């Protein structure tokens, strides 16, 4: 009988990569909680920011979106806030720009910390997934974006997967419009029904 094979221990540099990513996420999440920033991120705060000054409101909106994405804070409300404050057209466009920037910043930061750590996973499923990603990187990112939008976990995974920044950005630019348009239409309809719309 063939003895059971055990996976070799992870290389030291791989463990350091994972540790750097985990420490970064935990530290950023803790900072957001301790400073009370999470409580300050609200629909009303975003709407007031846009109402006071559109340009600075957009800058603050984008900065909060980036921070939320890095800290794994659900960012669905950003689209809702933008639609309520700016209407469906400008709300969707604003969210698209902010989401693209947030996804790209997350990719660059996580790639700098963890490199392509996921590539060192040695199992059949990982090899199959990476083979598909390598064969059609842009199409893969587009499909993932269409389903998962700008979810932080997807951005972290792709950053650690070894996909190039170029393919990631192109896939993100092409993949985000459809889900944003669908969610915008649904939320705008709901806002009208509930009397939330101000546009």
Pick from 95, 68, 66, 69: nearest CA to 83:
95
Q: Predicted confidence band at 1 (pLDDT cuts at 50, 70, 90)?
A: very low
Q: Are 52 and 89 in contact (CB under 8 A)?
A: no
Q: Which residues contact 135 (CB under 8 A, 6 or more apart)?
A: none
* Region for residue 8 given its phi and psi (left: phi exceeds 0; alpha: psi -120 to 50; beta: otherwise): beta
CA distances to 25, 98, 125, 144 from 170, in Å:
26, 15, 26, 13
pLDDT exceeds cutoff 50 at 7: no
Q: Which residue has the tokens 């059971």?
A: 4
* pLDDT, tens only, 41-63: 666 777 777 767 777 788 888 99
Nearest to 153 by CA among 35, 21, 19: 21
pTM of the model as a whole:
0.83
Answer whether 32's CB lies under 8 Å from 152's CB: no
Phi, psi at residue 115, to the nearest 5°?
50, -135
For the chain, which residues make up each domain, given as ranges? 14-194
Least confident of 136-145, 152-161, 163-172, 190-199: 190-199
| pLDDT tens column, 87-146 | 889 999 999 999 999 999 999 999 999 888 888 887 888 889 899 999 999 999 999 999
């Amino acid at each position: 009988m063939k003895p059971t094979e055990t996976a070799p221990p992870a290389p030291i540099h791989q463990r350091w990569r994972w540790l750097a990513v985990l420490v970064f996420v935990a530290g950023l999440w803790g900072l957001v909680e301790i400073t009370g920033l999470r409580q300050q991120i609200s629909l009303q705060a975003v709407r007031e920011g846009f109402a006071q000054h559109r340009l600075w409101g957009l800058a603050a909106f984008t900065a909060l979106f980036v921070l939320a994405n890095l800290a794994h804070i659900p960012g669905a409300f950003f689209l809702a806030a933008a639609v309520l404050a700016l209407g469906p057209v400008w709300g969707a466009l604003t969210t698209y720009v902010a989401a693209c920037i947030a996804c790209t910043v997350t990719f660059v930061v996580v790639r700098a910390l963890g490199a392509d750590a996921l590539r060192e996973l040695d199992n059949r499923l990982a090899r199959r997934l990476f083979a598909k990603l390598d064969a059609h990187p842009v199409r893969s990112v587009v499909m993932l974006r269409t389903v998962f939008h700008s979810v932080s976990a997807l951005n972290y995974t792709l950053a650690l997967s070894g996909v190039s920044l170029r393919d990631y950005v192109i896939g993100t630019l092409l993949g985000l419009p459809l889900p944003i348009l669908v969610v915008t239409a649904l939320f705008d309809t709901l806002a009208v029904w509930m009397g939330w719309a101000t546009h």
